[in-house]
Amino acid sequence: MDFLSREGAPIPAELWEKIDQAVVSAARKVLTGRRFISIYGPLGAGVQSISVDNISELDETEGCISVIKGRTYQQIPLISQDFSLLWRDLEFSQQVGLPVDLSSAMRAASLCALKEDELIFRGNDEFGYKGLLTEDGIIRLPISDWGQGENPFMDISKGLAKFIDNGIIGRKALVVSPNLFVHLQRIQPGTGVTEYERISRLLDGNIFSTPVFKDNKAILVCAEPQNMDLVIGQDMITSYLETRNLNHYFRIIETVLLRIKNKEAVIVFE
């Protein structure tokens, strides 16, 4: 079944290839969560739910009837963003031999990527999804004034020490709000080294920033797959919706779900 409605769409294969390239290229420039969270999948567009384990509680009961404790099941939500291409633009490109302007597709891909990061970091209250910032039971530490002295380095060092105390070992990543990212560019007097460089050495360069974060928000994670992963059913792809007033309408879709398996592997500074 062609659920993307491409086979019957009045769009040539060459243009579909360019649309796919533009969408993927634009999304990669925006996506933040995928840069450090392990991917589980793609599982296929038809996979609608997945198990979510809490490893600290995971166990199987004994008896005539056994059930798994510490395991729940969640639906994998669908994220989408629409865009259109005007028939006159396509006709003009064909007549004069110029490339089709795919700015609308690239903008839609960027918005779709932001929606994915919003789900990863902030979740969705309406449908009961938790993100890295909003999950219950994660570690929360007070944040210092990152515009002063060595506060950023000291805060992150305390977070790393907390991981060691809890036996959390593996690849670490730091994600900060844009204003905190600016504070990290301060040069420590007498050293010629920025706070960003100092912290980057602790984290093997895994420092990221996203507009999804509000002011003065930072999160430190141990992103090993036993602690968290990103379930992908259908990876980001473009479908054909309809022709209306001779113009062509498309929808970028993906199905993704964040699974936090070990809440001690997430530290929020706020």
Task: Please tell me whether residues 99 and 192 are part of one structural domain.
Answer: no
Instruction: Indicate the average pLDDT of the chain.
Output: 93
Residues 241 and 108 in one domain: yes
Work out the average pLDDT over 248-262. Answer: 97
Is 6 within a domain? no
Contact (Cβ atoms closer than 8 angstroms) between residue 260 and residue 56: no
pLDDT digits (tens, 9 = 90+) for 148-157: 989 999 999 9
Q: What is the CATH number of the domain that holds 163?
A: 3.30.2320.10
pLDDT for position 66:
76
Residue 96 shares a structural domain with residue 119: yes
Query: 216 near 183, Cβ under 8 Å?
Result: no
Tell me, what CATH number does 23's domain have? 3.30.2400.30
Domain count of the fold of the chain: 2
Average the pLDDT over 245-252 and give the result.
96
Report the share of the chain in percent with pLDDT over 90.
Answer: 84
Q: How far apart are CA 68 and CA 74, in angstroms?
A: 15
23 Cβ neighbours under 8 A, 6+ residues apart: 105, 106, 108, 109, 236, 237, 238, 252
33 and 93 together in one domain: yes
8 assigned to some structural domain: no
Does residue 3 lie in a domain region? no
- 175 and 119 inside one domain: no
Residue 17 sits in the same domain as residue 103: yes
| pLDDT tier, 173 (very low <50, low <70, confident <90, very high otherwise) | very high
204 φ/ψ sector (left φ>0, alpha ψ -120 to 50, else beta): left
Range of the domain at 172: 139-222
For 58-81, give the secondary structure using H, E and C. Answer: CEECCCCCCCEECEEEEECCEEEE
**For residue range 25-60, what is the model confidence (pLDDT) as tens digits?**
999 999 999 999 999 999 999 999 999 888 777 777
Is residue 267 one of the residues assigned to a domain?
no
Helices (H), 79-208: 87-96, 103-122, 151-165, 178-183, 195-202
